């Protein structure tokens, strides 16, 4: 793969891919591969399923060329795709679990961490309402801006802010996680 | 990022400590490595798609989609015009002069009513004007009425 595209913006890469440049696609793939994989892992809770979702996500992206036009950021485009594909993979494996149960389950990390504050953080996150937890993780794990979250979830910006505010407030109020917020 | 978003993102209420971010990332970003086979599978698909043969087909398909969309738009536009406009002239040019001559009531249509009207003129002896001498034989009579009736039948929908 050529390194000449490393500095190119997503938009520039997409234009090149629309013109048939496979190296530009590879750059795009390597740029978002880990991001997609981590998100898919969070949704599926399984490394193997996450790999399947990763492949399917980029196969879907490939199918959009030529003629693909990016109207927002790449993560905004990819987030709903990964989410949808993850839920599809999960429902193939667990037919009797509802989407809500899946979402609730998948965003809770395994408590293998021996660090007590991290374990407690995980425990508090586990009881957050799904929509609040999702926004919190999109902001601080997926590194998406509030505007990008709003577009990806198709909800108003004010709703994103409100959900995030409530999520952080619960963490501040909980004795197990309030140390994160002490000045 | 828009100014509005920047404002929200800079909201002190929504800021967190670095430790909080780090711990979240440790919890939610597993250190699994993605096997080279997975990369190869995705990139092989890409290379396959970008071979000149496949890429050419995809471009053609993409162009055709736009062509079909454009053609559909033209048809829909034409159809909508057709629905909003009255029927246009369908008479052939050769019949147009004759049709104008036999449009007795001058309403833009040649139909059997023109023949009836001329027949009444002839019967009432009002139709002696030269202009009703449709066949140009110097007389205004039933032959002219027949000619109007015949034109009404021959002209498509009787529209001038």
Domain residue limits, chain B: 36-84, 93-158
Q: State the average pLDDT over residues B2-22.
A: 65
User: Residue A147: its pLDDT value, please?
Assistant: 92
Q: What is the pLDDT of residues A30-82, one digit of tens each?
A: 999 999 999 999 888 888 899 999 999 999 999 998 889 888 899 999 999 99
Q: What is the mean pLDDT of chain B?
A: 70
The two three-digit tokens of residue A58, written as one number:
């980029």
Q: State the average pLDDT over residues A110-114.
A: 50
Residue B2: which of A15, A165, A73, A162 has the closest Cα?
A: A73
Lowest mean pLDDT segment, chosen from A129-138, A141-150, B26-35, B50-59: B50-59
Q: State the average pLDDT over residues B82-89.
A: 53
A34 touches chain B (CB under 8 A): yes
| C-beta atoms surrounding A25 within 10 Å | 27
Contact A118 B47 (CB under 8 A): no
Q: Provide the CATH number for the domain formed by A1-95 in this structure.
A: 1.10.1740.10
| C-beta atoms surrounding A72 within 10 Å | 12
Q: A-B interface: how many C-beta pairs under 8 angstroms?
A: 114
Q: What is the pLDDT of residues B115-155, one digit of tens each?
A: 777 777 777 766 567 777 888 888 888 777 777 777 776 65
Give me the residue from B13, B32, B49 closest to A165, CB to CB. B13
- Could you give the CA distance from residue B52 to residue B108 in angstroms, rounded to a whole number? 61
The two three-digit tokens of residue B113, written as one number:
């009513």
Q: Closest residue of B to A115, CA-based?
A: B23
Instruction: Report the interhelical angle of A99-106 vs A22-44 (nearest 10°).
Output: 100
Residue A169 — pLDDT band, cuts 50, 70, 90?
very high
* Alpha-carbon gap: B80 to the closest alpha carbon of chain A (Å): 30
- Distances, alpha carbon A87 to alpha carbons A40, A93, A113, in Å: 9, 10, 26
A108 touches chain B (CB under 8 A): no
CB A54 within 8 A of CB A89: no
- Distances, alpha carbon A65 to alpha carbons A5, A85, A87, B46, B131, in Å: 18, 19, 25, 10, 71
User: Residue B106: its pLDDT value, please?
Assistant: 77
- Distances, alpha carbon A133 to alpha carbons A40, A125, B5, B44, in Å: 16, 7, 20, 36
Kindly state the percentage of chain B with pLDDT values over 90: 4
Give me the residue from A113, A117, A146 closest to B5, CB to CB. A146
CB A85 within 8 A of CB A42: no
- Could you give the CA distance from residue B65 to residue A136 in angstroms, rounded to a whole number? 41
How many CA atoms within 13 Å lie on the side-chain side of A57? 34
Between A122 and B119, the higher pLDDT residue: A122
In the block, tokens 């670095």 appear at: B18
Give me the residue from A29, A137, A180 closest to B17, CB to CB. A180
Residue A81 CB contacts under 8 Å (≥ 6 apart), including other chains: A57, A60, A61
| C-beta atoms surrounding A129 within 10 Å | 13
Between B13 and A24, the higher pLDDT residue: A24
In CATH, A112-177 is 2.20.28.10: no
Give me the residue from B9, B13, B43 closest to A26, CB to CB. B43
Q: State the average pLDDT over residues A15-19.
A: 90
pTM attached to this predicted model: 0.62
Chain B: which residues have CB within 8 Å of chain A? Answer: 1-2, 4-5, 8-9, 11, 13-14, 16-17, 19-21, 23-30, 32, 34-35, 38-39, 41-43, 45-47, 49-50, 55, 58-59, 62
Please tell me whether the interface predicted TM-score (ipTM) of this complex is above 0.90: no
> Does A166 score more than 90 pLDDT?
yes
**Test the A interface: residue of B25, B27, B43, B62 with most A CBs within 10 Å:** B27
Give me the residue from B28, B35, B58 closest to A141, CB to CB. B28
Residue B92 — pLDDT band, cuts 50, 70, 90?
low
Give me the residue from A51, A59, A164 closest to B34, CB to CB. A51
In CATH, B93-158 is 2.20.25: no
How many CA atoms within 13 Å lie on the side-chain side of B18? 0
Chain length of chain A:
183
User: Residue B81: its pLDDT value, please?
Assistant: 63
A172 touches chain B (CB under 8 A): no
Contact residues, chain B, for A147 at CB < 8 Å: 1-2, 4-5, 8
CB B34 within 8 A of CB A57: no
Residue B160 — pLDDT band, cuts 50, 70, 90?
very low
Residue B155: which of B96, B113, B69, B85 has the closest Cα?
A: B96
| C-beta atoms surrounding B5 within 10 Å | 18
Residue A1 — pLDDT band, cuts 50, 70, 90?
low
CB B149 within 8 A of CB B111: no
What residue spans define the domains of chain A? 1-95, 112-177
User: Residue B30: its pLDDT value, please?
Assistant: 76
User: Residue A167: its pLDDT value, please?
Assistant: 94
Q: State the average pLDDT over residues B98-114.
A: 72
Phi-psi region of A93 (alpha: psi -120 to 50; beta: other; left: phi over 0): alpha
Contact B30 A41 (CB under 8 A): yes
């Amino acid at each position: 793969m050529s390194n000449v595209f490393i500095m190119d913006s997503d938009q520039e890469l997409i234009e090149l891919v629309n013109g048939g440049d496979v190296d530009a696609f590879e750059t795009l793939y390597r740029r978002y591969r880990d991001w997609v994989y981590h998100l898919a892992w969070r949704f599926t809770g399984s490394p193997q399923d996450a790999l399947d979702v990763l492949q399917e996500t980029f196969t879907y992206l490939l199918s959009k060329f030529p003629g693909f036009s990016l109207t927002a950021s790449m993560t905004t485009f990819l987030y709903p795709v990964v989410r949808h594909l993850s839920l599809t993979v999960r429902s193939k494996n667990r037919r009797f679990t509802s989407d809500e149960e899946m979402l609730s389950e998948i965003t809770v990390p395994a408590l293998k961490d021996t660090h007590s504050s991290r374990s407690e953080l995980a425990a508090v996150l586990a009881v957050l309402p799904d929509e609040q937890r999702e926004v919190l993780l999109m902001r601080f794990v997926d590194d998406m801006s509030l505007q990008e979250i709003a577009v990806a979830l198709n909800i108003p910006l004010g709703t994103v802010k409100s959900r995030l505010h409530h999520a952080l407030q619960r963490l501040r109020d909980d004795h197990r996680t309030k140390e994160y917020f002490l000045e | 990022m828009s100014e509005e978003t920047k404002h929200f993102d800079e909201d002190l209420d929504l800021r967190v400590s670095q430790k909080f971010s780090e711990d979240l990332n440790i919890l939610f970003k597993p250190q699994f490595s993605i096997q080279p086979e997975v990369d190869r599978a995705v990139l092989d698909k890409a290379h396959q798609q970008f071979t000149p043969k496949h890429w050419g087909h995809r471009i053609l398909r993409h162009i055709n989609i736009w062509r079909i969309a454009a053609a559909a738009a033209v048809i829909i536009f034409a159809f909508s015009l057709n629905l909003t406009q009255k029927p246009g002239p369908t008479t052939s040019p050769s019949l147009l002069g004759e049709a104008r001559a036999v449009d007795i009531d001058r309403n833009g249509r040649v139909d059997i009513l023109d023949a009836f009207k001329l027949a009444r003129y002839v019967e009432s002896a009002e139709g002696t004007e030269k202009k009703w001498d449709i066949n140009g034989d110097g007389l205004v009579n039933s032959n002219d009425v027949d000619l109007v009736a015949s034109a009404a039948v021959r002209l498509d929908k009787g529209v001038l």
